[in-house]
Amino acid sequence: MPLFRPRRVVGGAALALSLMLTGCASAPNDQFYTLSGGPTTAAPAATTGAPLYFEMRPITVPAQVRRPQLVTSNADGRVDLEEHHRWAGPLADEIGTGLSLGIAAELGAIDVYRSPAPNGSTLYRVGANIQRFESVPGRYALIDAVWNVRKLDDSEVQTCRSVFREPVGAGYDALVAGHRAALAKLAAAIAAGVRGQAEGRAPGC
């Protein structure tokens, strides 16, 4: 009898190792998403003369979505953290970079945040506070933002609110694409505000 006991121990260890390997093999891979770059970014606008310069200030986002994971919700108010579906960077940075690229492309402008603007140039300061960033799989992606534009040699500030809701299909890729489309529309709205001030129009929404 004692001669067979080691075989049982070895057999049990082999079974445990096999189960561990099976569990590792079946674990889903993390997917990472970005809101900047890619085909949703507008082509650079044609410019004549000196380009516009702006500063895209840091973005604020609601605490509920200030997480690495995509945060999804449903009509009943339930919120889910999608553990294996994550943003490539902090969500505020992803939104800020997407807006910066979108505004620059819309205007043929240059974002000089943390960089010096050329002497004698006119500079526009841009800020945005994201009020809602909603992700409802298979239904919609929504961005609700209060944004402002101020010409630095002028005390007048343009403050507006924009809400963009994009219908989406099933899957996380579609959800992220919806947010990218909404972000592109927000960038276009802010760019229109900068353009209006550059052309001497009174700030307005």
Nearest Cα to Cα of residue 90 among 50, 36, 140, 52: 36
Output DSSP code: residue 182: H
**Across residues 3-16, what is the average pLDDT?**
48
On whether residue 44 sits in a domain, the answer given is: yes
Q: Is the pLDDT of residue 6 over 80?
A: no
CATH of the domain at 133: 3.40.50.10610
On whether residue 6 sits in a domain, the answer given is: no
On whether residue 16 sits in a domain, the answer given is: no
Range of the domain at 151: 30-198
172-190, pLDDT tens digit by residue? 999 999 999 999 999 999 9
pTM of the model: 0.83
What's the pLDDT at 75? 73
On whether residue 21 sits in a domain, the answer given is: no
Q: Is the pLDDT of residue 58 over 90?
A: yes
Mean pLDDT of the residues in the chain: 86
- Describe the strand order of the beta sheet including 123-136 as a list of residue ranges: 110-111, 53-56, 123-136, 140-151, 157-167
Instruction: Enter the tokens of residue 156.
Output: 């007048």
On whether residue 125 sits in a domain, the answer given is: yes
Strands (DSSP E) along the chain, which ranges? 31-33, 53-56, 69-73, 79-87, 110-111, 123-136, 140-151, 157-167
Give the integer Cα–Cα distance in Å for 189 and 185.
Answer: 6
What's the pLDDT at 7? 44
On whether residue 22 sits in a domain, the answer given is: no
125-160, pLDDT tens digit by residue? 999 999 999 999 999 999 999 999 999 888 789 999
Contacts of 201 (CB under 8 A, 6+ apart): none
What's the pLDDT at 20? 52
| Residue 161: how many other CB atoms lie within 10 Å | 12
Contact 99, 183 (CB under 8 A): yes
On whether residue 95 sits in a domain, the answer given is: yes
Give the integer Cα–Cα distance in Å for 125 and 114.
Answer: 12
50: confidence class by pLDDT, cuts 50, 70, 90:
confident
Q: Is the pLDDT of residue 21 over 80?
A: no
Give the number of domains in the chain: 1
On whether residue 5 sits in a domain, the answer given is: no
List C-alpha distances in Å: 1 to 7, 10, 11, 13, 88: 11, 15, 16, 19, 59
What's the pLDDT at 181? 98
What's the pLDDT at 204? 81
